[in-house]
Each structure stands twice: as structure tokens, then as C-alpha cells.
Amino acid sequence: MPIGKKTLGEKLFDGFNYVFLTLFAFSAVYPFINILSISFSTPAAANAYGLKFIPKEFTLEAYRAVFDNKVIWTGYYNTIIRTGVGTALNVLFTVLCAYPLSKRYLPNRNLYTSLIVFTMFFSGGLIPTYLLIKSLGLLDNRLVLILPGLIAAFSMIIVRNYFMSLPEEIEESAKIDGANDVRILFSIVLPVSLPIIATIALWYAVAHWNAWFDALLYISDPNKTVLQTVLYKIIIQGSPQFQQFETFDPSVQSVTPDIIKAATVMVATVPILCVYPFIQKYFVKGVMIGSLKG
């Protein structure tokens, strides 16, 4: 058989893979496309049977209704603040924790690392956590959305492993020139660690943007609620801010509750999707390098 020529079995296997992966990709993408199409459709087109890839009767009424609602804007503001401040603090304290643990000369390094890894498998539970948050006076405080998850154990381990993969000679030469550990970290280590920093920043940002359960538990002030909690109340609970859409009359209204929900989902989802193309190039490289050493 000529080198490089595939057998019939290999061709069939490749064909099966292409078909399977195409169907799998379609099953993952279609729900998003369907919701996008519904959000731009009129009630008649949205309620029609069949697959929906593009809006048959285009309208922006659902988005006008969503953006006219002050609750959405309040949720957006709080989510942006949480994501920006939370991600910055997460990355900072994760790096400050991972850097000393990456040094073999740190006393009891393995013990500290084991204690941190232990928290990945066991936690205090929901009720003890709530009582702890209450005793700290963090209820109805925006800091409750950031401080309890300030350092993710998994992200810290990845960053620690990445720092361990860096050549020690770089830091030794800096110490000879009189640089201390803080100067070495911020002036030498971090500039060459952008892939792993971008990776964990993406993880933290997505986690903050999508988080809703902690805000539902600890935040009761409507002026401090986040966008995903607003989305949860609109879709699952039926928020009173959208009760005017619960009784639909086609001759009077140009949107239905389902169209409002679809538009709200798109408003909450699209911003974080726009971040991925700018950080994706760092993502795989950061994870692979950060997982080389234990």
C-alpha cells in the first residue's frame, strides 16, 4: 500500500468522525441560534413550528422592552463591577499565594499545598457557610460576592506549577543584582507569565459573570443584585417587573414573555462571549504549561 494512502476502513472511520462531530457541534450551537432568532422575532414567527435559524419577521421590540427596564441596567452595573474588581483581586491574590508555594526552599511547602488541595474536595456546607458570612457582617454587602472565593484552589495550583516551570537562573541573577522577592515577582516573573495570567483571569471573569446563587443567598437589596440573578428571576420565577407581558394579546402587544426571556438571555450572554477571542490564544498554552509539574 502506498505510504499516506488511507484504507477503506480508515476512510469510513474519518467519515463517521466528521458526521458525528458535525452533529455534536450543531446540537451545541443550535439552542443559542434558536434563542437569538426568537429574540428578534415577532410573536407569530416565534410561535411558528419548525427550526428557527434566522428571524422571519425581524423586530427589536423585545430588546427595547429589556433595555427600558431599570432592573436590567442595575444588574449590568453590579455584574460589571463584580467581574472587574473580583477578577483583578482574584488574579492578584492567586499569584501572591502561588509564587511562594512554587519555591522548594519554603518551609512546609507540601503541607500548605495539601491543605489547599483538601478544600477542593471538602467544604463546610451551605448552612455553615451562610452562618459564617452572617457573623462576618457581609450579608447585603457587595464584598460577599468576591471575598469567599478570592482564591480558587485549582487556579492557584495551575499558577504554582507554571511558576515552577520557569528557569530558576532568571531569579538568581536578579537577586545578585539586589532585587527582592516582590521586585522579582512583579518585574520579572509576571511579564513572562502572561499566558497563565490570562487563563486564570478568563476563568475568574466567566465565573463572576455567570454567578447567581451566591447573590441570591446573600443579597436582598435590589440595588445590589447582579445580572444573572435578574435573569434567573425573569426566566424561572417570573419577575414582577415583567408581569405586564404575562397576559399576551397579539392585537395589543408586539412581544411575548418567551421573547422577552430570549432577549434577556442574549443580553446576559453576549458580553462574556465577546471576551473569548481576545484571550483564547493564551488559554491552551497556559493550561498545558501550567500542568507540566506537580
pLDDT band at 85 (very low <50, low <70, confident <90, very high): very high
More confident call, 50 vs 151: 151
- 95 band by pLDDT with thresholds 50, 70 and 90: very high
Task: Report helix angle 257-273 to 194-210, nearest 10.
Answer: 160
pLDDT winner (highest mean) among 47-61, 129-143, 161-175, 269-283: 129-143
Q: What is the pLDDT of residue 293?
A: 47
**pLDDT tens, residue by residue, 179-226:** 888 888 888 899 888 888 988 998 899 899 989 899 989 998 888 989
If we measure between CA atoms, which residue out of 74, 43, 7 comes closest to residue 225?
74
Looking at per-residue pLDDT, the higher value among 56 and 34 belongs to: 34
Q: Return residue ranges of the chain for CATH 1.10.3720.10.
A: 63-290
By the 8 A CB rule, do 256 and 43 touch?
Answer: yes
Please tell me the predicted confidence (pLDDT) of residue 249: 45
Report, as an integer, the average pLDDT of 105-111.
90
Res. 240: pLDDT tops 60: no
pTM, rounded to two decimals: 0.79
What local confidence, expressed as pLDDT, does residue 250 receive? 44
CB atoms within 10 A of CB 53: 11
pLDDT at position 238 over 70:
no
Give the long-range contacts of residues 221-224, CB within 8 A, separation 24 or more: 221/140, 222/71, 222/74, 223/74, 224/78, 224/140, 224/142
d(CA 5, CA 137): 69
CATH class held by domain 63-290: mainly alpha
pLDDT band at 289 (very low <50, low <70, confident <90, very high): low
The rounded distance, in Å, linking the Cα atoms of 244 and 257 is 9
Mean pLDDT across the chain, nearest whole number? 83
Phi-psi region of 180 (alpha: psi -120 to 50; beta: other; left: phi over 0): beta
